[in-house]
Amino acid sequence: MCWELSGCTPVVTEDLKPTEQEPRLVTLLAIRTLNSQGRKSVPGDHETACLGGPSRIGISSGFLDSTAMNPIIGITSRQPVIKTSGGELEAHVVNRVYTEAVIRCGGTPVLLSPVAPEEAPRLLDRVDGLVLSGGGDIEPSFYGGKLHDDMYSIDPVRDEFEFALVRAAQQQRKPTLAICRGLQVLNVALGGTLIEDIPSEIGSTDHAVHGPDVVDCHQTVQIEPDTLVAAAIGATEACVNSIHHQAVRQVAPSMRAAGWTSDGVIEVLDPEDHTWPLLAVQWHPEYLAVNDDEASLALFTSLVAEASAVAEVR
Protein backbone atom coordinates (compact mmCIF):
# COMPACT_ATOMS: atom_id res chain seq x y z
CA MET A 1 0.00 0.00 0.00
CA CYS A 2 1.00 3.65 -0.20
CA TRP A 3 0.18 6.14 2.55
CA GLU A 4 -0.28 9.74 1.52
CA LEU A 5 1.56 11.42 4.37
CA SER A 6 1.16 15.05 5.35
CA GLY A 7 4.41 16.78 4.50
CA CYS A 8 6.41 14.04 2.85
CA THR A 9 6.74 11.85 -0.18
CA PRO A 10 4.32 8.87 -0.10
CA VAL A 11 6.05 5.85 1.41
CA VAL A 12 5.38 2.44 -0.10
CA THR A 13 4.83 -0.12 2.64
CA GLU A 14 3.36 -3.04 0.76
CA ASP A 15 4.76 -5.69 3.09
CA LEU A 16 3.17 -4.31 6.27
CA LYS A 17 0.22 -6.16 7.73
CA PRO A 18 -2.80 -4.01 8.67
CA THR A 19 -2.03 -4.26 12.39
CA GLU A 20 1.47 -2.93 11.76
CA GLN A 21 0.40 0.22 9.93
CA GLU A 22 0.70 2.68 12.79
CA PRO A 23 1.36 6.41 12.41
CA ARG A 24 4.58 6.30 14.44
CA LEU A 25 6.07 3.66 12.12
CA VAL A 26 4.97 5.50 9.00
CA THR A 27 6.53 8.72 10.32
CA LEU A 28 9.84 6.97 10.92
CA LEU A 29 9.71 5.40 7.48
CA ALA A 30 9.06 8.80 5.95
CA ILE A 31 12.01 10.39 7.74
CA ARG A 32 14.27 7.49 6.79
CA THR A 33 13.16 7.70 3.15
CA LEU A 34 13.74 11.45 2.99
CA ASN A 35 17.19 11.03 4.52
CA SER A 36 18.12 8.34 2.02
CA GLN A 37 17.05 10.61 -0.84
CA GLY A 38 19.47 13.29 0.30
CA ARG A 39 16.86 15.79 1.52
CA LYS A 40 18.40 18.82 3.14
CA SER A 41 15.42 19.18 5.48
CA VAL A 42 13.96 16.33 7.51
CA PRO A 43 10.45 16.72 8.97
CA GLY A 44 10.60 17.88 12.57
CA ASP A 45 14.36 18.53 12.53
CA HIS A 46 14.98 21.72 10.58
CA GLU A 47 13.47 24.97 9.42
CA THR A 48 13.36 26.14 5.84
CA ALA A 49 12.88 29.67 4.63
CA CYS A 50 10.14 30.76 2.29
CA LEU A 51 10.85 34.30 1.10
CA GLY A 52 13.06 34.80 4.13
CA GLY A 53 10.51 33.68 6.70
CA PRO A 54 11.07 30.50 8.73
CA SER A 55 8.49 27.79 8.27
CA ARG A 56 8.49 24.88 10.69
CA ILE A 57 8.10 21.49 9.03
CA GLY A 58 6.56 19.41 11.79
CA ILE A 59 5.43 15.92 10.97
CA SER A 60 6.64 14.12 14.07
CA SER A 61 4.57 16.39 16.32
CA GLY A 62 1.81 17.56 14.00
CA PHE A 63 1.06 14.23 12.33
CA LEU A 64 -0.48 12.79 15.49
CA ASP A 65 -2.05 16.03 16.77
CA SER A 66 -4.22 17.80 14.22
CA THR A 67 -4.48 20.90 16.41
CA ALA A 68 -0.72 21.44 16.01
CA MET A 69 -0.66 21.17 12.24
CA ASN A 70 -0.09 23.91 9.75
CA PRO A 71 -2.96 24.66 7.34
CA ILE A 72 -3.89 21.59 5.32
CA ILE A 73 -3.45 22.01 1.57
CA GLY A 74 -5.17 19.45 -0.66
CA ILE A 75 -3.37 18.73 -3.94
CA THR A 76 -5.14 17.02 -6.83
CA SER A 77 -3.47 13.89 -8.18
CA ARG A 78 -2.99 12.07 -11.45
CA GLN A 79 -3.36 8.34 -12.07
CA PRO A 80 -0.43 6.73 -13.89
CA VAL A 81 0.30 3.02 -14.12
CA ILE A 82 3.23 2.01 -11.92
CA LYS A 83 5.11 -1.23 -11.33
CA THR A 84 4.34 -2.91 -8.00
CA SER A 85 4.82 -6.35 -6.46
CA GLY A 86 1.33 -7.11 -7.75
CA GLY A 87 2.20 -6.12 -11.30
CA GLU A 88 1.38 -2.93 -13.15
CA LEU A 89 -1.35 -1.07 -11.28
CA GLU A 90 -2.91 2.39 -11.43
CA ALA A 91 -1.78 4.73 -8.68
CA HIS A 92 -2.66 8.21 -7.42
CA VAL A 93 0.44 10.40 -7.39
CA VAL A 94 1.56 14.01 -7.01
CA ASN A 95 4.92 15.28 -8.19
CA ARG A 96 7.13 15.89 -5.19
CA VAL A 97 7.87 19.48 -6.19
CA TYR A 98 4.27 20.38 -5.28
CA THR A 99 4.45 18.99 -1.76
CA GLU A 100 7.87 20.48 -1.14
CA ALA A 101 6.73 23.96 -2.18
CA VAL A 102 3.72 23.73 0.15
CA ILE A 103 5.84 22.48 3.05
CA ARG A 104 8.50 25.11 2.48
CA CYS A 105 5.91 27.87 2.72
CA GLY A 106 4.30 26.57 5.90
CA GLY A 107 1.51 24.25 4.73
CA THR A 108 0.79 20.58 5.28
CA PRO A 109 0.11 18.87 1.93
CA VAL A 110 -2.31 15.98 1.46
CA LEU A 111 -3.10 14.11 -1.74
CA LEU A 112 -6.65 14.30 -3.12
CA SER A 113 -7.67 11.29 -5.19
CA PRO A 114 -10.91 11.44 -7.21
CA VAL A 115 -14.21 10.72 -5.51
CA ALA A 116 -17.72 10.98 -6.90
CA PRO A 117 -18.34 14.61 -7.93
CA GLU A 118 -21.19 14.95 -5.45
CA GLU A 119 -18.74 14.12 -2.64
CA ALA A 120 -16.24 16.83 -3.66
CA PRO A 121 -17.75 19.66 -1.54
CA ARG A 122 -17.59 17.52 1.60
CA LEU A 123 -14.00 16.54 0.82
CA LEU A 124 -13.07 20.17 0.28
CA ASP A 125 -14.53 20.98 3.70
CA ARG A 126 -11.70 18.93 5.23
CA VAL A 127 -8.86 21.04 3.85
CA ASP A 128 -7.92 24.68 4.31
CA GLY A 129 -6.59 25.32 0.82
CA LEU A 130 -6.49 23.70 -2.60
CA VAL A 131 -3.85 23.22 -5.31
CA LEU A 132 -5.24 22.22 -8.70
CA SER A 133 -2.14 20.53 -10.08
CA GLY A 134 -0.88 20.03 -13.61
CA GLY A 135 -1.28 16.92 -15.73
CA GLY A 136 -2.89 15.59 -18.88
CA ASP A 137 -5.42 17.17 -21.20
CA ILE A 138 -9.10 17.65 -20.44
CA GLU A 139 -11.64 15.57 -22.34
CA PRO A 140 -12.54 18.03 -25.16
CA SER A 141 -16.24 17.13 -25.21
CA PHE A 142 -16.57 18.89 -21.85
CA TYR A 143 -15.97 22.26 -23.54
CA GLY A 144 -17.27 21.58 -27.05
CA GLY A 145 -13.79 20.95 -28.43
CA LYS A 146 -12.38 18.31 -30.74
CA LEU A 147 -9.82 15.57 -30.26
CA HIS A 148 -6.32 16.42 -31.47
CA ASP A 149 -3.47 14.05 -32.24
CA ASP A 150 -1.24 15.69 -29.63
CA MET A 151 -3.69 15.33 -26.75
CA TYR A 152 -2.49 12.99 -24.00
CA SER A 153 -3.43 11.39 -20.66
CA ILE A 154 -7.12 12.26 -20.96
CA ASP A 155 -8.93 11.18 -17.79
CA PRO A 156 -12.65 12.09 -17.68
CA VAL A 157 -13.01 10.79 -14.11
CA ARG A 158 -10.32 13.17 -12.91
CA ASP A 159 -11.86 15.97 -14.98
CA GLU A 160 -15.33 15.64 -13.47
CA PHE A 161 -13.95 15.37 -9.93
CA GLU A 162 -11.86 18.50 -10.37
CA PHE A 163 -14.73 20.41 -12.00
CA ALA A 164 -16.74 19.67 -8.85
CA LEU A 165 -13.84 20.81 -6.66
CA VAL A 166 -13.63 24.11 -8.56
CA ARG A 167 -17.35 24.82 -8.16
CA ALA A 168 -17.21 23.93 -4.48
CA ALA A 169 -14.11 26.09 -3.98
CA GLN A 170 -15.85 29.03 -5.62
CA GLN A 171 -18.91 28.57 -3.43
CA GLN A 172 -16.87 28.11 -0.24
CA ARG A 173 -14.37 30.84 -1.18
CA LYS A 174 -11.65 28.28 -0.50
CA PRO A 175 -8.08 29.54 -1.05
CA THR A 176 -6.98 28.01 -4.36
CA LEU A 177 -3.83 27.89 -6.47
CA ALA A 178 -4.56 26.63 -10.00
CA ILE A 179 -1.45 25.54 -11.93
CA CYS A 180 -1.28 24.85 -15.70
CA ARG A 181 -3.91 22.12 -16.23
CA GLY A 182 -5.46 23.46 -13.02
CA LEU A 183 -6.11 26.83 -14.68
CA GLN A 184 -7.67 25.04 -17.64
CA VAL A 185 -9.85 22.90 -15.34
CA LEU A 186 -10.94 26.08 -13.58
CA ASN A 187 -11.90 27.74 -16.85
CA VAL A 188 -13.83 24.76 -18.24
CA ALA A 189 -15.59 24.05 -14.93
CA LEU A 190 -16.96 27.60 -14.89
CA GLY A 191 -18.06 27.67 -18.52
CA GLY A 192 -14.97 28.57 -20.56
CA THR A 193 -13.31 26.79 -23.48
CA LEU A 194 -9.77 25.83 -24.54
CA ILE A 195 -7.47 26.01 -27.52
CA GLU A 196 -6.90 22.32 -28.28
CA ASP A 197 -3.30 22.75 -29.51
CA ILE A 198 -1.25 25.96 -29.47
CA PRO A 199 1.35 25.08 -32.15
CA SER A 200 -1.19 24.01 -34.76
CA GLU A 201 -3.58 26.91 -34.12
CA ILE A 202 -1.35 29.81 -33.11
CA GLY A 203 1.94 28.63 -34.53
CA SER A 204 3.89 29.28 -31.33
CA THR A 205 6.28 26.68 -29.94
CA ASP A 206 7.42 28.79 -26.99
CA HIS A 207 5.26 26.92 -24.50
CA ALA A 208 6.74 23.45 -24.92
CA VAL A 209 9.79 23.28 -22.64
CA HIS A 210 10.50 19.84 -21.14
CA GLY A 211 13.29 18.04 -19.32
CA PRO A 212 15.81 19.70 -16.97
CA ASP A 213 14.96 23.18 -18.27
CA VAL A 214 11.54 23.18 -16.56
CA VAL A 215 13.13 24.61 -13.39
CA ASP A 216 14.25 27.73 -15.25
CA CYS A 217 12.18 30.60 -16.63
CA HIS A 218 12.25 31.33 -20.34
CA GLN A 219 9.18 33.42 -21.12
CA THR A 220 7.87 36.76 -19.85
CA VAL A 221 4.26 37.27 -18.77
CA GLN A 222 2.68 40.72 -18.47
CA ILE A 223 0.12 40.80 -15.66
CA GLU A 224 -2.69 43.28 -15.03
CA PRO A 225 -1.91 45.32 -11.89
CA ASP A 226 -5.29 45.04 -10.16
CA THR A 227 -5.20 41.26 -9.91
CA LEU A 228 -4.69 38.74 -7.13
CA VAL A 229 -1.64 37.23 -8.86
CA ALA A 230 0.03 40.64 -9.21
CA ALA A 231 -0.72 41.38 -5.57
CA ALA A 232 0.70 38.03 -4.47
CA ILE A 233 4.01 38.36 -6.33
CA GLY A 234 4.30 42.12 -5.94
CA ALA A 235 4.90 42.69 -9.66
CA THR A 236 3.16 43.03 -13.01
CA GLU A 237 5.77 41.09 -14.92
CA ALA A 238 7.10 37.59 -14.32
CA CYS A 239 9.63 35.34 -16.01
CA VAL A 240 7.97 31.93 -16.21
CA ASN A 241 8.33 28.38 -17.54
CA SER A 242 5.66 27.38 -20.05
CA ILE A 243 5.01 23.64 -20.29
CA HIS A 244 1.68 23.37 -22.07
CA HIS A 245 0.28 22.82 -25.55
CA GLN A 246 -3.25 23.98 -24.67
CA ALA A 247 -4.55 27.32 -23.40
CA VAL A 248 -7.67 29.30 -22.59
CA ARG A 249 -9.76 30.24 -25.61
CA GLN A 250 -13.01 31.69 -24.25
CA VAL A 251 -12.72 32.92 -20.67
CA ALA A 252 -15.35 31.66 -18.21
CA PRO A 253 -18.02 34.26 -17.27
CA SER A 254 -16.85 34.69 -13.65
CA MET A 255 -13.19 35.03 -14.65
CA ARG A 256 -11.17 37.55 -16.63
CA ALA A 257 -7.96 37.22 -18.60
CA ALA A 258 -5.26 38.98 -16.62
CA GLY A 259 -1.85 37.95 -17.98
CA TRP A 260 -0.38 37.21 -21.41
CA THR A 261 2.83 36.20 -23.14
CA SER A 262 4.00 38.11 -26.22
CA ASP A 263 2.23 35.65 -28.56
CA GLY A 264 -1.13 36.48 -26.96
CA VAL A 265 -1.57 33.25 -24.99
CA ILE A 266 -3.47 33.78 -21.74
CA GLU A 267 -1.26 32.88 -18.75
CA VAL A 268 -3.25 34.32 -15.82
CA LEU A 269 -6.93 34.24 -14.88
CA ASP A 270 -8.37 36.47 -12.18
CA PRO A 271 -11.76 36.07 -10.47
CA GLU A 272 -14.25 38.88 -10.95
CA ASP A 273 -15.08 38.49 -7.25
CA HIS A 274 -11.93 39.00 -5.20
CA THR A 275 -13.55 37.59 -2.08
CA TRP A 276 -12.47 34.23 -3.52
CA PRO A 277 -8.69 34.02 -2.90
CA LEU A 278 -7.86 32.37 -6.22
CA LEU A 279 -4.48 32.42 -7.94
CA ALA A 280 -4.62 30.91 -11.43
CA VAL A 281 -1.46 30.65 -13.55
CA GLN A 282 -0.70 28.71 -16.72
CA TRP A 283 2.97 28.14 -15.83
CA HIS A 284 4.57 25.86 -13.20
CA PRO A 285 5.71 27.76 -10.08
CA GLU A 286 6.35 24.48 -8.24
CA TYR A 287 9.29 23.81 -10.60
CA LEU A 288 10.63 27.37 -10.45
CA ALA A 289 10.52 27.22 -6.64
CA VAL A 290 13.28 24.61 -6.80
CA ASN A 291 15.61 27.43 -7.84
CA ASP A 292 14.25 29.80 -5.15
CA ASP A 293 12.29 31.92 -7.60
CA GLU A 294 10.71 34.59 -5.41
CA ALA A 295 7.55 35.10 -7.46
CA SER A 296 6.85 31.37 -7.46
CA LEU A 297 7.40 31.03 -3.74
CA ALA A 298 5.17 34.09 -3.23
CA LEU A 299 2.25 32.28 -4.88
CA PHE A 300 2.56 29.38 -2.45
CA THR A 301 3.12 31.75 0.47
CA SER A 302 -0.07 33.62 -0.39
CA LEU A 303 -2.05 30.38 -0.67
CA VAL A 304 -0.81 29.15 2.71
CA ALA A 305 -1.48 32.52 4.35
CA GLU A 306 -5.07 32.54 3.12
CA ALA A 307 -5.47 28.90 4.16
CA SER A 308 -4.17 29.75 7.63
CA ALA A 309 -7.05 32.18 8.05
CA VAL A 310 -9.47 29.41 7.08
CA ALA A 311 -7.85 26.99 9.54
CA GLU A 312 -8.23 29.46 12.39
CA VAL A 313 -12.02 29.59 12.07
CA ARG A 314 -12.64 25.99 11.02
Asked about 2 being catalytic, the answer comes back as no
Annotated catalytic residue within 196, 267, 286, 306: 286
Residues of the chain by 3-state class (helix, strand, coil), percent to 5 = 35, 25, 40
Q: Are the beta carbons of 219 and 261 closer than 8 angstroms?
A: yes
284 catalytic? Reply is yes
Q: Across 34-80, where does the E strand assignment appear?
A: 47-50, 53-56, 72-76
Closest by CA to 106, choosing from 134, 76, 67, 72, is: 72
Task: Select from 47, 50, 57, 40 the least CA-distant residue to 296.
Answer: 50
Give the E-state strand segments of the chain in sequence order: 2-3, 11-12, 47-50, 53-56, 72-76, 81-84, 87-90, 108-112, 129-132, 176-179, 194-195, 219-223, 237-240, 247-248, 255-260, 266-271, 278-281
Reported residue count of the chain is 314
Question: 207, 244, 245, 284: which is the annotated catalytic residue?
Answer: 284
* 46, 56 Cβ separation under 8 angstroms: no
- Whether residue 14 lies in the annotated active site: no
Exactly one of 8, 50, 180, 217 is catalytic; which is it? 180
Write out the catalytic residue numbers.
180, 284, 286
